[in-house]
Amino acid sequence: MKFGIIGFGNLGKALASALTCSGSVTANEIFICDNSPEAIAVAELEAYHAYDVKEINRVIESTDVVCITVKGYVFEELSKSIERKGLDGKLIISMMAGETFEKIYSLIGNVNLARAMPSLAIAANEGVIAYTKIPDEVSMIFNKFGFAFETEPEIIEKVMAFAACGLGYAAYLIDAFAAAGEAMGFSLDTASHIAALSFKNAGDIGNFRETVKAVATPGGATEQGVMYMDKCGVYDIVAGAIQKAYERMT
């Protein structure tokens, strides 16, 4: 199966890496389309087929599955160059946040279309990817990317806000934890290492609420910190951040 990737930014690169790292396809079965000479050069180094956006139809005609990883406004412009007849028999998978089926149909016609929302961590096959109904052979590939699941179209933006954006939120919180350690006198490297390990350990243990109870014993130092976070409304802040991301896409 040959994959085309329209856009070779962070998400496009993560997807290409996910496909090859999972052993699903080889580099010469991936076709890249981007308007940046630098991105094209990187793709060529990885042995992917790489073409300028002027050759977008060459990418489409050479592949079975076409994944769109650019921003919606970029694809709106690109769509003017797409020969609709060349989309016949292709599976088009939009990974564009906030771009509905109806909007995409209005740009390229009534194609065989699905939507997917991945996190960048799919690059190492340890990410999250949700997708609408797709053929079994494609879902089998996506299931190698980490935690993968099928969802309804109306849920896909929620996955983006919670899971795909969640990588950024987690990194933000770890950075805040590391900054607090640096302010206490640790070197930034040491503080960052401790912060990353603390979050990793919590993730490995799981059962988060029980872990909080186990560590935050009555009258102890951890309890004081947890009480302070509760007083500051940390739960509401996190929930609000996720809601803001969701609202941005709807």
Tell me: the pLDDT tens digits for 49-71? 999 999 999 999 999 999 999 99
pLDDT of residue 10: 95
Read off the pLDDT of each residue in 102-113 and give the average, rounded to a whole number.
Answer: 96
Percent residues over pLDDT 70 in the chain = 100
How far is Cα 215 from Cα 178, in angstroms, rounded to an integer? 20
Question: pTM score > 0.75 for this model?
Answer: yes
pLDDT of residue 3: 98
**The token pair that represents 125 in the structure block:** 């096959």
How far is Cα 118 from Cα 52, in angstroms, rounded to an integer? 24
Read off the pLDDT of each residue in 132-158 and give the average, rounded to a whole number.
Answer: 95
8 and 32 Cβ atoms separated by less than 8 Å = yes
**Secondary structure (3-state) at 104:** helix
199 and 174 Cβ atoms separated by less than 8 Å = yes
**The token pair that represents 227 in the structure block:** 């009480």
**The token pair that represents 145 in the structure block:** 């990317």
Give me the half-sphere count of Cα atoms (radius 13 Å) on the Cβ side of residue 60: 23
Strand duo 65-68 + 112-118: pairing:
unpaired
Q: How confident is the model at residue 45 (pLDDT cuts 50, 70, 90)?
A: very high
Look at the block and give the residue holding tokens 């940046």.
36
Q: Could you tell me the domains of the chain?
A: 3-151 (3.40.50.720), 166-249 (1.10.3730.10)
